Amino acid sequence: MAQLKTALFALVSLISSYVLAVSPLVVQGSDFVNSVDGTRFQIIGVAYQPGGSSGFNPGSGIDPLSDANVCLRDAVLMQRLGVNAIRVYNLDPDLDHSACASIFNAAGIYMILDVNSPLPNQSLNRGAPWESYSSAYLERVFDVVEAFMHFNNTLGFFSGNEVINEDSVPEVPSYIRAVTRDLKDYIAAQAPREIPVGYSAADVRPLLMGTFNYMSCGLDNDTSSKIDFFGLNSYSWCGDATYQSSGYDVLVGDFGNTTIPIFFSEYGCNLVTPRDFTEVPVLYSENMTTVFSGGLIYEYSEEPNDYGLVTLNDNGTVSIRQDYENLRQQYDSLDIATLERANATATALTPPACAVDLLAGSNFTNSFDIPARPDGVDALIQNGVNGTFPTGVSSVANTEPTQTVYDINGQELSGLQLNILPGDESNLPGNNTSGTSPSGSPSGSSTASASGSQPSNTNAAAKFGEMKVGPLAMGALAVGLFMQ
Ligand SMILES: *[C@@H]1O[C@H](CO)[C@@H](O)[C@H](O)[C@H]1NC(C)=O
Ligand SMILES: *[C@@H]1O[C@H](CO)[C@@H](O)[C@H](O)[C@H]1NC(C)=O
Ligand SMILES: *[C@@H]1O[C@H](CO)[C@@H](O)[C@H](O)[C@H]1NC(C)=O
Ligand SMILES: *[C@@H]1O[C@H](CO)[C@@H](O)[C@H](O)[C@H]1NC(C)=O
Ligand SMILES: *[C@@H]1O[C@H](CO)[C@@H](O)[C@H](O)[C@H]1NC(C)=O
Ligand SMILES: *[C@@H]1O[C@H](CO)[C@@H](O)[C@H](O)[C@H]1NC(C)=O
Ligand SMILES: *[C@@H]1O[C@H](CO)[C@@H](O)[C@H](O)[C@H]1NC(C)=O
Ligand SMILES: *[C@@H]1O[C@H](CO)[C@@H](O)[C@H](O)[C@H]1NC(C)=O
Ligand SMILES: *[C@@H]1O[C@H](CO)[C@@H](O)[C@H](O)[C@H]1NC(C)=O
Ligand SMILES: *[C@@H]1O[C@H](CO)[C@@H](O)[C@H](O)[C@H]1NC(C)=O
Ligand SMILES: CC(=O)N[C@H]1CO[C@H](CO)[C@@H](O)[C@@H]1O
């Protein structure tokens, strides 16, 4: 028995080390940095919002990261596209996301997660933030943190998305700093590691620099309310634009002194279709990488607003669109070694002190008094919220999506497969080339064929992992013993 136990432990540790794929990222100065090997990380990402922004329906048992069959299908197509990060907007913290998180982790893809939702009391009210800044709201925000904080591929949380715009009252920025503070204090008290928290801004130029300066400056009396990174939703490059005509040069100038990572939290104007994504090589060129850390293309799936890279058909199959192929080509042209190069000056930057003259010309409160927490929230932070939450990623057993995927000519792609990356690696363009069209890509033979055209049943997700690694490892162990 003792011997068996030793064997068990050996096997279990083998299995758990197999689970590792991506290393946690940390913020250092203006860069995201891989906490294990010290390389710089630039976001090569897509927004992932199947069903669109109106598709969020808690109580239905489904959100974008709840169905492992769907996540496997989409992670495989994203891996093939070359992305290393997704942004997911609306999440139901009561659902179990561990199977999907594990799949994206195995694919080398990080997750950037919004803590809010469009439902009542689940985001700040830009007209009267003091009404929505309540302990019930914050409890839900903390639930989202709990639901994702144990996954190493959780890159960060957005405390708000486009809350500040022409309609917002001047007090809104101070409430976003308050929510950021509460999130960071919760993470410090309850999470297994430091997870960055940022804000995603609308590209309203008169408000942009005021927003950025207000959010990213340092306060001696309130160190946790500063954002760790800044996302800009930018659609100023349309069609065959240039660095200058798009105004990207202005953004680089305006944000040139940033002390935190900045990236496009959405980009990809669709006024000219199909999109050629000529902004991609410019965003990852040295004109911009001194200031920007990449961006997230809006968006993976085709929805009524017509930004999709793929069409998710009602029968569970996927049709690749021309935009996907165009983006993939642009990603393939990037020089990854340059993107990963660390810069000791950039990583050593520290924030400027908050001062009202940073806010000149904008509709902001001239005060850096950050609103106090509502009653009961200190206790939530100290004790943690109640609930059952996942404890980490697990290994992924199933690597072949069951759904049929059609290429841009309507031909069925074969050989689509999740490429489980070795420890520490994130996905990169050109790394994974699974999936071939019958008409013949030069790389030729496929190892496996997509198995027919099974529509996925979104109500009966296959479970690849359990909530805890323990039972899963034991399950795998049982298989191992059986096979001997
Ligand atoms: C998460 O990353 C840390 C640091 O690299 C590592 O020690 C830990 O084992 C990882 N956890 C999982 C579940 O991969
Ligand atoms: C929102 O919160 C307010 C005040 O906390 C509460 O009165 C109201 O019922 C809530 N609305 C919903 C839809 O939960
Ligand atoms: C500033 O606030 C006023 C009144 O709320 C509004 O009319 C105006 O559009 C705002 N300006 C900007 C640049 O957002
Ligand atoms: C950046 O900092 C330099 C030196 O302090 C200053 O001269 C310049 O105006 C700043 N640029 C911006 C856009 O704030
Ligand atoms: C980089 O900036 C220079 C000067 O503004 C411009 O001439 C050049 O076209 C830019 N490079 C790219 C790849 O956009
Ligand atoms: C290194 O970082 C500093 C500060 O952000 C920047 O001014 C400089 O251009 C960067 N150098 C390179 C080679 O990216
Ligand atoms: C914290 O410091 C800022 C900047 O000095 C100041 O404006 C603010 O009033 C201070 N807040 C409190 C609660 O003292
Ligand atoms: C958590 O559960 C305990 C025990 O049921 C209860 O006393 C406490 O009030 C709950 N806390 C919250 C924030 O719901
Ligand atoms: C992915 O590509 C990078 C850079 O080309 C390379 O260093 C790495 O080994 C590749 N990883 C895999 C799993 O092929
Ligand atoms: C699924 O739906 C798509 C789009 O309507 C259609 O092109 C395809 O033939 C369908 N596939 C199957 C297997 O029904
Ligand atoms: C370049 C590269 O890493 N390609 C891999 C993509 O995934 C397939 C399936 O796992 C592998 O066979 C390839 O080697």
At 90-119, the pLDDT tens digits run 999 999 999 999 999 999 999 999 999 999
The per-residue pLDDT for 445 is: 28
Please tell me the distance between residue 165's alpha carbon and the centre of ligand 3 in angstroms: 8
Q: Residue with the nearest Cα to atom 13 of ligand 7?
A: 369
Q: Is 207 in the pocket of ligand 3 (CB under 6 A)?
A: yes
5: number of Cβ within 10 Å: 9
Give the type of residue at 7. Answer: A
Residue 154 has pLDDT above 80, yes or no: yes
**Contact 447 CB / ligand 7 (< 6 Å):** no
Q: In what order do the strands lie in the sheet with 40-41?
A: 25-28, 31-34, 40-41
Residue 335 beta carbon below 6 angstroms from any ligand 7 atom: no
Question: What mean pLDDT do residues 15-28 have?
Answer: 77
- β-pairing, 85-88 vs 110-114, is parallel
Give me the mean pLDDT over the 135-164 stretch: 97
Pick from 363, 365, 366 the residue to mutate for probing ligand 3's pocket: most ligand atoms within 8 Å of its CB: 363
**In the sheet where 318-320 sits, what is the strand order?**
310-312, 318-320, 405-406
Contact in structure between 147 and 97 (CB atoms under 8 Å): yes
pLDDT of residue 366: 81
- Size of the chain, expressed as the number of residues it contains: 484
The C-alpha angle 248, 175, 113, rounded to 5 degrees, equals 60
Mean pLDDT, the chain, whole residue set: 87
User: Where residue 467 falls among pLDDT bands split at 50, 70, 90?
Assistant: very low
Distance 138 CA to ligand 2 centre (A): 13
Which phi and psi (to 5°) does residue 199 adopt?
Answer: -125, 140
* % of the chain surpassing 70 pLDDT: 86
Which ligand gives the minimal distance to the CA of 214? 7
**Going by CA atoms, what residue is nearest to atom 10 of ligand 8?**
386
Top pLDDT among 477 and 203 is at 203
pLDDT computed for residue 359 by the predictor: 81
DSSP 412: B
DSSP 461: -
Ligand 6 pocket: which of 252, 255, 257, 290 to mutate (most atoms within 8 A of CB): 290
Tokens of 158: 């957005």
Residues with CB under 6 A from ligand 5: 243, 249, 282, 285, 287
pLDDT band (50, 70, 90) for residue 2: very low
Supply the DSSP symbol for 465.
Answer: S
| Pocket residues: Cβ below 6 A from ligand 4 | 254, 256-257
Average pLDDT of span 49-61: 85
CA of 70 to the centre of ligand 4 (A): 47
Percent residues over pLDDT 90 in the chain: 77
Q: Are 354 and 219 in contact (CB under 8 A)?
A: yes
The structure tokens 């408000």 sit at 207
Cβ of 386 below 6 Å from ligand 8: yes
313 CB less than 6 Å from ligand 10?
Answer: yes
Q: Which two tokens stand for residue 227?
A: 């954002």
- What's residue 447's pLDDT? 27
DSSP-based three-state secondary structure for 265 = strand
The pLDDT of residue 19 is 66
Ligand 1 atom showing the smallest separation from residue 392 Cα: 13
Inter-residue contact 12 to 473 (CB < 8 Å): yes
Residue type, 137: Y
Q: What is the average per-residue pLDDT within 259-269?
A: 98
Q: How confident is the model at residue 18 (pLDDT cuts 50, 70, 90)?
A: low
> Which pLDDT score is estimated for 156?
98
Residue 254 alpha carbon, nearest atom of ligand 4 = 13
pLDDT for the residue numbered 433: 73
Q: Which atom of ligand 2 is nearest to the CA of 119?
A: 13
pLDDT tens, 376-415?
Answer: 999 999 999 999 999 999 999 999 999 999 999 999 999 9
Cis peptide before 274 (omega within 30 of 0): yes
So what's the pLDDT on residue 361? 66
pLDDT score of 461? 22
Is residue 31 within 8 Å of residue 42, measured between CB atoms?
no
**pLDDT at site 474:** 30
Check pocket membership of 383 for ligand 8, CB cut-off 6 A: no
Name the CATH superfamily, with its identifier, for domain 24-383.
Glycosidases (3.20.20.80)
Residue 454, ligand 10, Cβ within 6 A: no
Handedness of CA 80, 83, 88, 94 (dihedral sign): positive
Establish whether residue 131 lines the binding site of ligand 2, counting it when its CB lies within 6 angstroms of any ligand atom.
no
Q: 121 in ligand 2 pocket by Cβ < 6 Å?
A: yes
Q: Is 279 a catalytic residue?
A: no
Is the pLDDT confidence value at 188 over 90?
yes
Task: Over range 42-61, report the average pLDDT.
Answer: 89
Give the residue, out of 72, 413, 432, with the most ligand 11 atoms within 8 A of its beta carbon, to mutate for a pocket test. 432
Q: Is the pLDDT of residue 151 over 80?
A: yes
Residue showing tokens 């920025």 = 173
Which residues lie closer than 8 Å to 444 by C-beta, 6 or more apart?
436
Q: How far apart are CA 64 and CA 94, in angstroms?
A: 13
pLDDT given at position 343 = 95
Name the catalytic one among 131, 139, 194, 266: 266
Domain chopping of the chain, boundaries: 24-383
Does the structure show a pLDDT above 70 at 442? Answer: no
More confident residue, 410 or 464: 410
Q: How far is the CA of 80 from the centre of ligand 11 (A)?
A: 9
- Residue 423: pLDDT band with limits 50, 70, 90: confident
Query: How far apart (Å, rounded) are the C-alpha atoms in residues 30 and 267?
Result: 20
Residue 199 reports pLDDT greater than 80 = yes
Q: Whose CA is nearest to atom 6 of ligand 6?
A: 290
> Could you write out the DSSP letters of every residue in 45-69?
EEE--TT-GGG--TTSS--TTS-HH
**Residue 472 scores a pLDDT above 50:** no
Reference 154, options 207, 194, 199, 125; nearest CA is 194
Name all contacts of 387-390 with Cβ < 8 Å and 24+ positions apart.
387/93, 387/94, 387/143, 387/146, 388/467, 389/93, 389/146, 389/147, 389/150, 390/96, 390/97, 390/98, 390/101, 390/147, 390/150, 390/151, 390/467, 390/468
Q: Is the pLDDT of residue 10 over 60?
A: no
Options 131, 139, 146, 162, the catalytic residue: 162
* Secondary structure class of 471 (helix, strand, coil): helix
Residue 279's pLDDT is 98
Q: Which two tokens stand for residue 38?
A: 């010290």
Report how far ligand 5's centroid is from the alpha carbon of 260 (Å): 24
CA of 112 from ligand 10 middle (Å) equals: 32
Residue 162 annotated among the catalytic residues of the structure: yes
Of 67, 117, 121, the residue nearest 92 (C-alpha): 117
* Average pLDDT score over residue span 73-82: 97
Ligand 2 centre distance from Cα of residue 121 (Å): 6
Closest-lying ligand to the alpha carbon of 208? 3
Q: Give residue-wise pLDDT tens across range 242-252.
A: 999 999 999 99
Cis peptide bond N-terminal to 139, omega within 30 = no
- Residue recorded with tokens 């590209």: 203
- Sign of the CA dihedral running 334, 335, 337, 341: negative
State the pLDDT at residue 54.
77
Q: Which helix (H) or strand (E) holds 75?
A: helix 68-81
Q: Which residue has the tokens 């109580």?
A: 59
CB 273 within 8 A of CB 308: no
Reading the block at residue 25, the tokens are 């990222």
Could you tell me the two tokens for 30?
Answer: 């203006």
